[in-house]
Amino acid sequence: MSRIDTQVLADRYRLLNPLSEGGAGTVWLAADEMLGRDVAVKEVRLPPDLDPARRQEVLAAALREANLAARLRHPSIVTVHDVVVDQERPWLVMELLSGASLEQTVRDRSPLPVHQVARIGVGILGALGAAHTAGVFHRDVKPGNVFLTRTGKAVLTDFGVAVVDGEVTSGRTGHLIGSPNYIAPEQLRGERGGPASDLWSLGATLYFAVEGMPPHPAETPIAAIGRVLTEPPRPPERAGGLGPLLMSMLDPAPEARPSFDAVARSLAELATGQPAAGVGGVGGVGDTAGVAGMPAAASPPSPPPAIPAVPAVTDPVPAPVRPPAPGRGRALRWAAAEMAGIAVVIGVTFGVTFLLTSGPTAAEQVVRLSESPGAFSTPVDVCKLIPATRARQLLPALAGEGKPTNDGGCQWPAKGMGLEVRLPGTGKQWGKSPRQAHELFVNQRQSTIPSGENAWSWPEIQAGVRSARSTAPRAVAPVGEESFGYDVYENRMTGRLEQSYVIIRVDSLVLEVGYAVVDGSKDGPAIQAGAHTAATWVANALNNQKAGE
């Protein structure tokens, strides 16, 4: 483990324990004592014998990574909060993610199924589209830099070797950057690389996810370089319909690789269990031919018989697009891809305005006009949103009032069942505008992806550690100004629904309302109805506060 002389950085970040360690440094769990939240802090390790010039180069690279990552906003890009120089070493302060890297997940378990790998691809392709739109090329997409959260969302991390379009990189050309198995051939030849290179690296990463090995397996890094430069990829054996797409992404000629639009289309189809339509006849990454829309995809397969089927939401979520040619500003077209349902969407600016084929909803029209701070500029006492007398309608054994949680939410635990209200994201939503809250709501919906297996516990309601799986977003009767729901089923023992959640937006506030019943006393529809009832109580209480009642 890494050894440090101090446990507090910048009189603010208290290091708690290491989360992971690699050749370049250690990632720590830390407490941000100023804002009262947990964060991840990346310690960049500098060898003791490093000469002053190289030390400055590493420090500058860390500061550069923070600056690059901070300017990118996308649900599948890790958020960098701060950078600190302490003891002449750089420390990057990032959002804390719960889960494991794609590399660790595959090595600890087994290769992933095709539909899950496709979902991962959709998320990372979206992150790359956002980066490329900002003129940033990642250059180190690999399994170790793709993080899978407990909710199933894929997040792209580590922009340490990224370059900005037009940036001079002569000072770094003496070093081989990235992992040889995941570096595009043109980069290994010493070329700068660009969007097509990131696409190749994504193809190699998804290949590893579904096959359990890189496309050019080799015993040593030198051997891997030779194979990438001179040999075709190993024919995939487990990839099924994903195989032809991966092989096209791994074409040695950048101009022969498919466009981002074509890859996005194919991945979205595979993510819902459909065979990919193929990428034949589609131009390369630099091709200017676009896609005006996407056909609606079929709903995902129904869950096993013991688990009730849950309808999918068809609200739009932005998916990746082909990056613009360097130096050219133009409107972007976004193909919308929801994991469990797909709608045709054309956006006129990156992640800002959605124009539905059926016309914008009333909520979206309001959001466009609501840029100023909303009604909830100071913290709300969340526990007062559901009085104990009302909570007992759902929790007959409830003994007292709600108990505040460390993220600003509240929980009402009782024997075998409980209610909770959470503030998704960082938990610090006060002072946002309705527009910002809408974006957070959309991000929450996008990151709610069906997962094969989770582990959760709630000791206060006598729920020990148990295996579970969560569903895709589902439509619910309207609550607040925007709402959707999802459910959590016990995965191994009974397959019964144990938790139901409804996420709502009221003005500038987004809240997640959950109802859990683990003693088997209520069936799935009753638990879903309970969550919806609690969400309605919360929305009504917030609207009353907003109206000054």
Look at residue 304 in the predicted model and tell me its pLDDT. 33
pLDDT at 5 over 70: no
Joined tokens for residue 361: 């909803």
Cβ neighbours of residue 330 closer than 8 Å, sequence gap 6 or more: 324
Higher pLDDT, 3 or 373: 373
Q: Annotated catalytic, 38?
A: no
3.40.1000, 1.10.3210, 1.10.3470, 3.30.230: CATH of 371-546: 3.40.1000
Look at residue 115 in the predicted model and tell me its pLDDT. 93
Look at residue 308 in the predicted model and tell me its pLDDT. 31
Instruction: Describe the chain by its helix, strand, coil percentages, rounded to 5.
Output: 30, 20, 50
Residues 64-93, mean pLDDT to the nearest whole number: 78
Task: Confirm if 203 and 262 have CB atoms less than 8 A apart.
Answer: no
pLDDT tens per residue, range 118-130 = 999 999 999 998 8
Residue 535: band (very low, low, confident or very high) from pLDDT cuts 50, 70, 90: very high
Joined tokens for residue 188: 């290994």
- Region class of 142: left (phi > 0), else alpha (psi between -120 and 50), else beta: beta
- Worst-scoring range by mean pLDDT, 37-51, 166-180, 394-408? 166-180
Task: Confirm if 414 and 394 have CB atoms less than 8 A apart.
Answer: no
Instruction: Give the 3-state secondary structure of residue 14.
Output: strand
pLDDT at 467 over 50: yes
Residue 357: band (very low, low, confident or very high) from pLDDT cuts 50, 70, 90: very low
Q: Which fold has domain 8-95?
A: Phosphorylase Kinase; domain 1 (3.30.200)
Q: Which fold has domain 99-168+175-285?
A: Transferase(Phosphotransferase); domain 1 (1.10.510)
**Is the pTM above the cut of 0.75?**
no
pLDDT tens per residue, range 180-205 = 899 999 989 988 788 999 999 999 99
Residue 452: band (very low, low, confident or very high) from pLDDT cuts 50, 70, 90: low
| Marked catalytic residue, from 49, 51, 86, 140 | 140
Cβ neighbours of residue 13 closer than 8 Å, sequence gap 6 or more: 30, 31, 32, 33, 39, 41, 82, 84, 91, 93
Task: Confirm if 242 and 232 have CB atoms less than 8 A apart.
Answer: no
Q: How many residues does the chain have?
A: 549
Parse the chain into domains and list their residue ranges: 8-95, 99-168+175-285, 371-546
The torsion angle over the Cα atoms of residues 310, 315, 317 and 322, rounded to 10 degrees, is 110
Largest CA distance in the chain: 73
Residue 514: band (very low, low, confident or very high) from pLDDT cuts 50, 70, 90: very high
